[in-house]
Amino acid sequence: MLRLSNICKSYQMGEYTVHALRNVSLTVEHGEFIAIIGTSGSGKSTLMHTIGLLDRPDSGSYEIDGKNVTGLSDTQTARLRNRTIGFIFQQFNLLQRASALENVNLPLLYSGKTSEGHRGQKVLERVGLGDRMHHRPNELSGGQQQRVAIARSLVNNPSIILADEPTGNLDSKSAKDIMALFRALHRQGLTVILVTHDVEVAEHADRIITIRDGEIQEDRRNETPIVQDAAREEVLELLKEGARKRTWLAVFSEGMALTTQSLRALWNNKARTFLSALGILIGVAAVITMVSLAMGAKASVKEQLSRLGSNLLSIRTSSRNSQGVRLQAGQISRMTLEDATAVSQIPSVKRDSARIRADVQLQYGAKNWPSEASGVSPNYGPMRAEVPLLGRYITDEDVTRRAQVAVIGMTPLRSLFGENENPIGKTIRINRRSYEIVGVLPERGSSAYGDQDDTIRIPVTTAMYRLFGKRYIDGIDAEIDTIENMPQAQEDILTLLSTRHDRNPKDKPFDIRNMAEIQEAMGSTTKIMSILLASIAGISLIVGGIGIMNIMLVSVTERTREIGLRKAIGARRQDIMAQFLIEALAISLLGGLSGLGLGIGLSLGMAQGAGWPMQISNLSVVVAFGFSVFIGIFFGLWPAMKASKLDPIEALRYE
């Protein structure tokens, strides 16, 4: 069944080289019961680890039924260990937070037989623990824990049982029971190889091999060996199956079992899992909240910009120097209503409006309020997005008749009429002249220039000839048909007005402000602020990912022996990697989902409670959650790879 030829194995201990095995040659027949005996440090455990494919020799060859297994890949070796060899360790190596049944069924996880969990129950009954299968190891005696370890080694129907000091930690009665169990297994055709330093234990075997200083000193038989052809056929078949692909059903079943194992490991360390997820939770919540704030601010700025007008040019007379004295705007060239009419004739001008403004005193009954009155044309409303909340805006007829009508802003409305009184049709006095309120302006809020709602609109002709006593206007607003035509329109307006006022256009007698450029600058600033806020929040996500990586690295260190055990019973590298990746992903999902709830809740709370302009973006929610999942996979990859590359022997010996 087994053939070892000239096996050598050495270890480097600082400056010294320890030769654990020296040219060891050994053959094992099917169905033999062999005891390898020797003192501590003699090399017996190293020999068992080599036979069990846990360790690779430095030189020599190792064959199972004529198949050289020294050159097998890690995956093939893991599969052969899982299906052919059952390990029984001196320290039992049971998962402390899993029940006896879960420990026994563990090898089924890596053989694609997770659906055959009833086998673990039958094996436990076979070793006399049918009534203790749901107890954890700390609830079992030493002998019972050893029986669980034996049951685990049998659950996959192996051909070889390897036992390392199986009675070393047991009392004499439990030791006799365990040896009787080994004898029964041997009688059923299993090949049993046990390692011990106890001569009395070794006498139970049919063949005793004595090893000293890495060399076989004696190989003697107690009785005729038993050969079982059925066992030989089973091993050959398993060797052939090593390269076969598993079915999708088996892969799915194994994946579900790995997920269950990973979630159980996280649940067993709830505090650490929560702290790991906390970083992702804060990161996701910060991203959603910051982006919502940025989007809300952007929408608010966009609304503010819409009030400035689209493709708007603002024209006013410029201030000039006269004999060293800088004069006020309009003292050299003053615009008139005819100038506004002339500007409207330029082909690229979609519409325009003359404007004039001054401070006034408003009165209604016994209430007074200082405000600003603006004389405007009917086009001013559509250009500035001033759609009245109540009533109407100024009309062409109002301008023609110089009607004493007004559209009032929200601030003077509240000051003069309160919150509930309807002002439409009411008469107020503006600088002691009576005006009928025909409309209410939409609320604009405050800006850097003050309260935008503290204003009142009247017809431009009324303002000029009835209220302010002026024959000129303060400025003209012109809306251009397309943004591409704005530079040319700006030049055409300057030329037109300069010609009308007998001025040289090169002297810039009129100041023309391009509101589109102001909008573009403000929009760019808002965009930069949005990116900055999202970047700051994204950094917190990366920090959370680093926290996951640190916790997973600690977990790998803490669970080194567990990883060694899983590899010894057949776990492949990808199985170990998958388990730790699933754990990292689960932490990310937990933090991500919690962060989504917190982020959306904070955004809604800030919008309703503090009145901040919050706008939750579906894209930010998807991106934040997706990035949290990516963070979990990315930062969980290194700890997972580190765990998967652990040598099973070094991992099992880790303290």
C-alpha span between 177 and 550 (Å, rounded): 45
Strand partners of residue 357: 374
> Does 224 score more than 60 pLDDT?
no
Query: What is the pLDDT confidence band of residue 230, given thresholds at 50, 70 and 90?
Result: very low
Using only C-alpha atoms, the chain has a radius of gyration, in whole angstroms, of 44
Query: What is the pLDDT confidence band of residue 302, given thresholds at 50, 70 and 90?
Result: low
Whole-model pTM? 0.59
pLDDT score for 639: 83
> Does 642 score more than 90 pLDDT?
no
Amino acid residing at 528: I
Mean pLDDT, residues 448-459 taken together: 84
**Of the ranges 144-148, 215-219, 314-318, 554-558, which one carries the lowest mean pLDDT score?**
554-558
Whole-number average pLDDT of the chain: 81
3-state secondary structure of 19: strand
**Among the residues of 5-73, which ranges form H helices?**
44-51
Q: What share of the chain is helix, strand, coil (3-state, %, to 5)?
A: 50, 20, 30
List domains and CATH numbers for the chain: 2-244 (3.40.50.300), 265-302+521-653 (no CATH), 325-508 (no CATH)
**Which of 162-171, 303-312, 411-420, 622-631 holds the top average pLDDT?**
411-420
> Does 126 score more than 70 pLDDT?
yes
191-196 vs 160-164, strand pairing mode: parallel
pLDDT score for 523: 62
C-alpha span between 401 and 213 (Å, rounded): 120
**Of the ranges 38-52, 254-268, 368-382, which one carries the lowest mean pLDDT score?**
254-268
Tokens 């989902």 belong to residue: 593
Strand partners of residue 212: 215
Return the number of other C-beta atoms located less than 10 Å from residue 504's C-beta.
Answer: 9
C-alpha span between 144 and 159 (Å, rounded): 23
Containing 3, the helix (H) or strand (E) segment is: strand 2-13
Query: What is the pLDDT confidence band of residue 397, given thresholds at 50, 70 and 90?
Result: very high
- Helices 573-605, 618-644: inter-axial angle, 10-degree rounding: 150
pLDDT digits (tens, 9 = 90+) for 417-438: 988 889 999 999 999 899 999 9
The tokens describing 60, both together, are: 């020599």
pLDDT digits (tens, 9 = 90+) for 247-282: 555 556 666 767 777 777 778 778 878 877 887 788
